[in-house]
Structure 1
Amino acid sequence: MDSPAPTTKDLLTEAAAAEFRERGFQGTDSNKIARRAGFAPQTFYRWFKDKTEVFVAVYRLWEDEERRFIGELVRQGAGEAAIVEAAVKHHRDYLHFRRSLRRLSLEDPEVRQARAQSRLRQVERLHRHSGSGLTREEIAVRLLELERLSDALAEGELADMGLDEAAARRRLVEILAEMR
């Protein structure tokens, strides 16, 4: 069965994802997004009220992409170390986007709410599928730790300090094992 052709909104969202990956939120504008998608600049505003709205849509795509590839690794029986490496790579692939997300979640209530909803969806999924017996709150704490350490590894923060990244990778493996 053929998948439906992407809509104008889909094409704009995909173009925005590419722009945010390459340049971050501050480094692009709605005109660049529209042109990258192959449309006149005014087309953007037929589908999105502003750049923040498309950023939130891209965040949802990012979340879905991460969930799909980690779910596939789990189905394939991948160990925690392989999942950690895939997650860090995903964060690295979206480095400018992730930096923008962290900053905007402090500055913009819409992005802050979107991030909270995303995290809550992750907590609920993990709570349903985990056999660990952890509470939602315990899962949330581990999720925040996973997210922050993955971002730190993706950005090379430990390497910047001249420190070995192995301890962070071991901790990520431990957290995943705790949540299984």
Structure 2
Amino acid sequence: MAKPAKTTQQLLQAAADEFNEQGFQGTDTNKIAQRAGFSPQTFYRHFPNKTAVFVAVYEAWESQERQGLEKLVSKGGTPIRVADAIVRQHRDYRIFRRSLRLLAVENDAVRCARTLSRQRQVKAILTALSLPASMKHDISIRLLQIERLADGLVEGEFKDLGVSDKRVKEEIAGLLPFNVQDQL
């Protein structure tokens, strides 16, 4: 018999795959359980509903993105390499992120999870860069700009407008919070 933590991880991975292939609306808890190799009842022993597992997948995505970026920055990654990593992460989770944007408008639990995620990101950046708390609003604005640019790039919006991927990545690189230190 699988241990509860291992079962939860398997369900989370199955949910991440389903959400990223089918979107939130295109999947259900039975598909998630089956993909993980479990019965539907097993899903409900670990998550109360589809929204709860979506939020858990989002939190795992956030953690994965943050760890990858922290590692890249600590190894001296250039702003353009960091921008590339952000875009790659958004591209790898394009359909999931599309569902996230929609659900954040329609679902209070998802909106709250996204808000908490962004607050954690801002706090981590302020701490990592030893920036004053007064920079919170500037960092928040930059994060939203970066997020929207990366999503627009992977969704093909800039291509439709004739703007090159390189140009968008340069813009993202210029917005990266560690560039704030140069402006203080």
Q: Give SS of 1:39's match.
A: coil
Q: TM-score normalized by structure 1?
A: 0.92
How many residues align? The count is: 177
The residue aligned with 1:76 is 75
Report whether the alignment pairs 1:57 with 2:56: yes
The residue aligned with 1:178 is 179
AA aligned to 2:36 is A
Shift of 1:12: 0.7
Shift of 1:37: 0.6
Report whether the alignment pairs 1:10 with 2:37: no
Q: CA deviation digits over 1:124-157, x for unaligned, max 9?
A: 0001112555611110000101111111111121
Structure 1, unaligned stretches of length 5 or more?
Answer: none
Shift of 1:26: 0.9
Distance 1:17 1:26, change over 3 A: same
Q: Give SS of 1:162's match.
A: coil
Q: TM-score normalized by structure 2?
A: 0.90
Q: Give SS of 1:7's match.
A: helix
Provide the rounded CA distance (Å) in 1 between the counterparts of 2:141 and 2:30. Answer: 39
CA RMSD of aligned residues (A): 1.7
What aligned pairs does 1:63-102 form with structure 2 within 5 A after superposition? 63-102=62-101
The residue aligned with 1:142 is 142
Structure 2, unaligned stretches of length 5 or more?
Answer: none
Mapped contact 2:21–2:95 kept (Cα < 8 A): yes
Which ranges of 4 or more aligned residues in structure 1 deviate by more than 4 Å? 131-134
